[in-house]
Amino acid sequence: LALAMSIFSEVPQAPPVAVFKLTADFREDSHPQKVNLGVGAYRTDDSQPWVLPVVKKVERLIVEDSSLNHEYLPILGLPEFRSAASKVALGEDSAAIKDNRVGGVQALGGTGALRIGAEFLRRWYNGVNNTATPVYVSAPTWENHNAVFADAGFKDIRPYHYWDAAKRGLDLSGFLDDLEKAPEHSIFVLHACAHNPTGTDPSQDEWKKIAEIMKRRNLFVFFDSAYQGFASGSLEKDAWAIRFFVSEGFELLVAQSFSKNFGLYNERVGNLTVVARDNENLTRILSQMEKIVRTTWSNPPSQGARIVGKTLNCPELFAEWKDNVKTMADRVLLMRDQLKAKLQALGTPGTWDHITQQIGMFSFTGLNPKQVEFMIKEKHVYLMASGRINMCGLTTKNIDYVAQSIHEAVTKVQ
């Protein structure tokens, strides 16, 4: 007897996630000089993942702590992790924390924090049904931003001007114009630092202009903070925008990821920091977020949160962690300096100042799709179709080859 048609036969094949497809293609390439600049994680100068020394130390402390067990955590997560994570974002002396109007929700990475925040906003922001409320994401942005808000039920996701390809920097006038024209109560997803994928951040004066319009026009701020400390090497500098908006009286959300700055990619350690008007509002907000978490993952995992919580709450471990983070940030900054210098020494056409003006793990090179194709097919240097590269993919061993490859792409392919 012939089998009946599958009830899933109408399910379409989803396209592969671009960065994972790129990594798969890289692995299949047998060229001896191949370079992967597409990976979304930190690598050492030997192209290896790095387990932070402080993480190894805390993992040993956890193993040896006989008081720990595997009982369920509270639905909203490990309390000492949530409070410490929010304090890292807002600052030790945050008035909002002292006013008892800041709360945290432990989440499955930064993506989980974004999703819980998006679900809450769709249900409760400015009313009870926000499917038609516009959500603005930067052009370009991390591709998951669009998907997270769409899957949370938002029907109107719009781009706001951000990257100026001609000057290879921030399109501030376009950004501010979009803020002025957006409907009141629109939601704006802002990158707290180390904008992904461009690496271009507003200056402090530019952030002030952005905040002034958002405050005047009643626009909602949802910060995505995936690289605090990792961008500049300073926790304070990388959190400046968040802290300024809070000081201006905004009620806001901050999705925090500890994947990059702790190297805990597969532990999925995230926190959603909530800054409310007062404690009464905070209590009600967290009660609804608890309901959302209950039907999403029910209860969060403990290992990664314990590692981060113990580190942030112990002054000695905290100091060691900051030193580890600076080690990663400094390597990225060094690679930026060297790549720019080598391109300039080769006489590569165009300006390359943006390589060092940008910040964080990623850089928008300015290479067009045909030049990217040349880099991959002819030079075996793998990068995203947008021209984005991960600076951590550069090493002292391959940077000359990469610079020469970029030079050839720019001079041979228009």
The yes-or-no answer on residue 163 being catalytic is: no
CA distance 57 to 68: 16
The residue from 34, 50, 142, 238 that is catalytic is 142
**Per-residue b/e over 99-116, b at no fewer than 16 CB within 10 Å?**
eebbbbbbbbbbbbbbbb
- Select which of 224, 310, 321, 379 is catalytic: 224
Residue with tokens 């004066």: 205
Q: Give ∠ CA 40-350-355 in degrees, rounded to 5.
A: 30
Contacting residues for 24 by C-beta, under 8 A, at least 6 apart:
16
Task: Evaluate whether 231 touches 192 at the Cβ level (below 8 Å).
Answer: no
As given in the structure block, the two tokens for residue 135 are: 């959500």
In the DSSP assignment, the letter for residue 225 is: E
Give 315's contacts (C-beta < 8 A, 6+ positions apart): none
- How many helical (H) and strand (E) elements, i.e. helices and strands, does the chain have? 17, 13
User: What tokens appear for 274 in the block?
Assistant: 């909530």
> What is the DSSP secondary-structure string of 79-113?
HHHHHHHHHHHH-TT-HHHHTT-EEEEEEEHHHHH
Beta carbons of 263 and 49 less than 8 angstroms apart:
yes
Contact 148, 107 (CB under 8 A): no
| Residues forming beta bridges with residue 169, ordered by sequence position | 164
Q: Rounded distance, CA 195 to CA 363, Å? A: 9
Task: Tell me the C-alpha distance between 373 and 359, whole Å.
Answer: 25
Q: Terminus-to-terminus CA distance in the chain, angstroms?
A: 59
Instruction: Using the Cα atoms of residue 27, residue 354, residue 192 and residue 183 in order, give the sign of their dihedral.
Output: negative
Instruction: Mark whether 237 is an active-site residue.
Output: no
Buried residues in 312-338 as b, exposed as e (16+ CB within 10 A): bebeebbebbbebbbebbebbbebbeb
For residue 370, what is the enclosing H or E element? Answer: helix 369-377
Q: Does the annotation mark 46 as catalytic?
A: no
Q: Which of 260, 340, 342, 379 is catalytic?
A: 260
Residue type, 14: A
- The residues assigned a catalytic role are 142, 224, 260
